[in-house]
Structure 1
């Protein structure tokens, strides 16, 4: 061995370091294993199968999450979609007004809920064969969107026997038939036929603000409660 102490350098034959080959291989394998693979191996399971099962679980959760999100978005946007799509449809001949009326009816609160939640209410009675009902549907839907949260819109098919009592109570003998109720659930006026939407809108604004209705239909004193 040569030694240069003064220069701070020692030169000599390097020591031979021996490492067991099996240990080196085992260490290399352990470094390459992921946490999931180590757990699978410790439990005596096939590593590749566990990896595939894990990937499938991740994909399943992702798919279920997307489906749930789509369902929530669909419910939230369904009402807005109906109003906007068919309102535009009136101008651009897109959509079916009967489908719009049916959709509005399905989204309507029940009569019992409407007359007890301290909000003004519009009861609209229609029929599938009524041309005026179909022509007015997009405009009524637009009003429903504008007064959302302030006015209940309860849309009912006058040919449905489930509404027979309400048809008699509000003396519905023609459609479209609009019965406007105050926040107390009492009838304020009735408007029948293809009325201008400005008439309905002005009456609704008056109901919301607690003012006298500018447009009055039949004599409400004759109607029973």
Structure 2
């Protein structure tokens, strides 16, 4: 066997090994992405707000952002909670970076994320909590929400990421329009 033929075989073998490794990596990457509990994956599975507030089931609405470290830290726990309570509670996710949700951001005075707003089966906001919450706290609140009793951990605070809603001239406070304020 000549040196050129041996070199060609080694090169072809290396190419085949690299191709197999790359194929396995891509396959495993897609599997991991499909099973992901990322915020984006959860948001895609979430109940639309309009449906949640009119279907008669209690609702937990989460105001979040993809860049929010507290939101990311809670993603796995929330995915498990959503799986456990999916038959009894609507789960809505509203991304604060989407200007579509600015009316809701202002209505519920979202000033830190994650922020959770709890709605009864009639679509009325009855409680909220802000910041990272242990899964036991969220579950206790959901159990109370389902039972139509007061939520034990409503208005509680945990670690938040700073957030300021975008404001334009159409949404500024009425008092700011006058140049003669003192």
Verify same fold: TM over 0.5: yes
Q: Matches of 2:125 and 2:72 in 1, distance apart? A: 25
* Matching residue of 2:129: 191
Describe the SS at the equivalent of 2:113.
coil
Matched, 1:176 2:114: yes
- Which one has a larger percent helix, Structure 1 or Structure 2? 1
CA deviations on 1:171-206 (whole Å, 9 max, x unpaired) are 111101100111111111111111111111101001
Q: Matches of 1:112 and 1:205 in 2, distance apart? A: 23
Matched, 1:211 2:144: no
In structure 2, list runs of 5 or more residues that go unmatched: 1-30, 157-182
In structure 1, list runs of 5 or more residues that go unmatched: 1-80, 88-99, 219-225
* Matching residue of 1:130: 68
Structure 1 or 2, whichever has the larger Rg, is 1
5 Å-filtered alignment, 1:141-156, equals 141-156=79-94
Q: Of residues 138, 142, 159 in structure 1, which corresponds to 2:97?
A: 159
Describe the SS at the equivalent of 1:216.
coil
Structure with more contact order per residue of length (Cα contacts < 8 Å, sep ≥ 6): 2
Matched, 1:202 2:140: yes
5 Å-filtered alignment, 1:1-225, equals 85-86=35-36, 100-217=38-155
Q: Matches of 2:129 and 2:140 in 1, distance apart? A: 13
CA offset at residue 154 of structure 1?
A: 0.4
CA offset at residue 104 of structure 1?
A: 1.3
Q: Matches of 1:86 and 1:115 in 2, distance apart? A: 27
Q: Matches of 2:116 and 2:154 in 1, distance apart? A: 12
* Matching residue of 1:17: none
Cα RMSD, aligned residues only? 1.9
CA deviations on 1:153-173 (whole Å, 9 max, x unpaired) are 001211101111111111111
